[in-house]
A and B are shown apart, each in its own frame.
Chain A
Amino acid sequence: MKIVKVGDTQQAACHQCKRFENVTYKLRDVPFSDGKGVVKNVLVGVCDCCDSVAVLPHQSTPVVRKQLQTQRRALESRVPAHMVDILNLASVEISGGTEFVPGLIKFYIHSLSTNDISPRGISKYLGSELARGKSQKRISIKGRLVAKEFDHLKKVTKINSTTDLIKGVVLKINDDVLVNKKLKTIKALKNIVAATI
């Protein structure tokens, strides 16, 4: 493994200067390209001419990964087994397979948190028969936005328990996709499936 040190120099393409320039390796706080988060104190090659970050040595990738994953906090909960069955059935309904389950939950968390799908009535599902049962299976969802949106949804719905809110979201999916077969929602989901799978 090639290891570079602070102060080492080399040539690299600088997109600010639009030419190959000399870069010097420095420790910098570098933002992610989508503007959501920063990799702190990471060794990067900085253009000697314009001071912008031009290159990342491969030795810095574990730091990038760690900080990216910290921001992609997983959402985890144990739920009754039939909740996972509902998600699998809904995913099959939309995509023909179960691989869309994480995307399906993320779509609903996002849509409910932005009010594209009304979050009103989520709490009513918690009193239903389907909300009951021994929690035997685990649901784990990762994404750059999902934890933040889920926290927002907790405030909107006034459901503080992560497990209860996940149950509410799953039962909302059941209602929309499997019971009432809401065409607008199913069409939106199918469009996402077509673009991603």
Chain B
Amino acid sequence: MGFKEAKAMVLDCLVSGHVLHEERGSVDITNLFATGLVTVKEAAQIIGRSAGSDYCCSPHHFDRDIDVHVIRTMHSGRRWYIKWYFLGPDSVFISFHH
């Protein structure tokens, strides 16, 4: 899966509300999307304006068939780091911070 397809899919998930946040026994306060400090609309804007040069992808540590997508992009003067993967119909966000 390339950048355009991953971006289109994650934006679809944001629109349809198929969004989960990966946690490790606690609520990760650095994940601003999980803590509600970034809204769905803001998340879609940040991801939507990212470019292919902001994107990279690597296999998930637990299952190499699952791609983990990473966007590092500037938005409103901040450098954002966003990491997620797709699981069935859902986007599962691992990181969303600046």
Q: Are A20 and B62 in contact (CB under 8 A)?
A: yes
Contact pick for A54, options B17, B22, B36, B90, CB 8 Å: B22
In the assembled complex, which residues on chain A have CB atoms less than 8 Å from the CB atom of B49? none
B35 at the interface (CB under 8 A from A): yes
Residues of B within 8 A of A (CB): 16-30, 33-37, 40, 60-63, 87-90, 92
Report whether A31 and B16 are in contact in the complex, using a CB–CB cutoff of 8 Å.
no
Does A15 contact B25, Cβ atoms closer than 8 Å? yes
Q: B16 near A2 (CB under 8 angstroms)?
A: yes
- Is there contact, CB below 8 Å, between A64 and B24? no
* Given A18-B62, A65-B37: A32 in contact with B22 (beta carbons within 8 A): no
| Residues of A contacting B: mostly | strand
Chain B residue numbers with a CB within 8 Å of A139 are none
Supposing A20-B63, A61-B35 touch, asked if A34 and B92 sit within 8 A by C-beta, the answer is no
The tally of CB-CB contacts under 8 A between chains A and B is 94
A residues with CB within 8 A of B: 1-2, 10-13, 15-16, 18-20, 30-34, 39, 42, 44-45, 52-58, 61-62, 64-66, 68
Which of A31, A53, A61 neighbours the largest number of chain B CB atoms within 10 Å of its CB?
Answer: A61
CA distance in complex: A55, B23 (Å): 5
Partner of A53, one of B17, B20, B23, B62: B23
B34 touches A61 (CB 8 A): yes
- Inter-chain contacts of B61 with A (CB < 8 A): 18
The answer on a CB contact under 8 Å between A33 and B26 is: yes
Measured between alpha carbons, how far is A39 from B34 in the docked complex, in Å?
A: 12
A141 to B3, CA, bound (A): 40
Tell me, in angstroms, the Cα distance from A58 to B19 when the chains sit together.
6
With a CB–CB cut-off of 8 A, which chain B residues contact A54? 22-24
Partner among B22, B37, B40, B63 whose Cβ is within 8 Å of the Cβ of A55: B22
| Chain A residues near B27 (CB-CB < 8 A) | 30-33, 39, 42, 56, 64
What is the CA–CA distance of A54 and B22 in the complex, to the nearest angstrom? Answer: 6
* Alpha-carbon distance between A31 and B18 when the two chains are bound, in angstroms: 24
Contact, CB under 8 Å: B36 / A15:
no
Q: A18-B62, A61-B36 are in contact. Are A56 and B23 (CB under 8 A)?
A: yes
A110 to chain B, nearest CB (A): 18
Is the beta-carbon distance between A65 and B35 smaller than 8 angstroms?
yes
Verify B92–A13 contact, CB threshold 8 A.
yes
* Bound complex: CA A61 to CA B17 (Å): 12
Given A32-B29, A33-B26, do A64 and B35 touch, yes or no (CB 8 Å)? Answer: yes
Question: B36: shortest Cβ distance to chain A, in Å?
Answer: 3
Which chain A residues lie closer than 8 Å to B63 at the CB level? Answer: 19-20
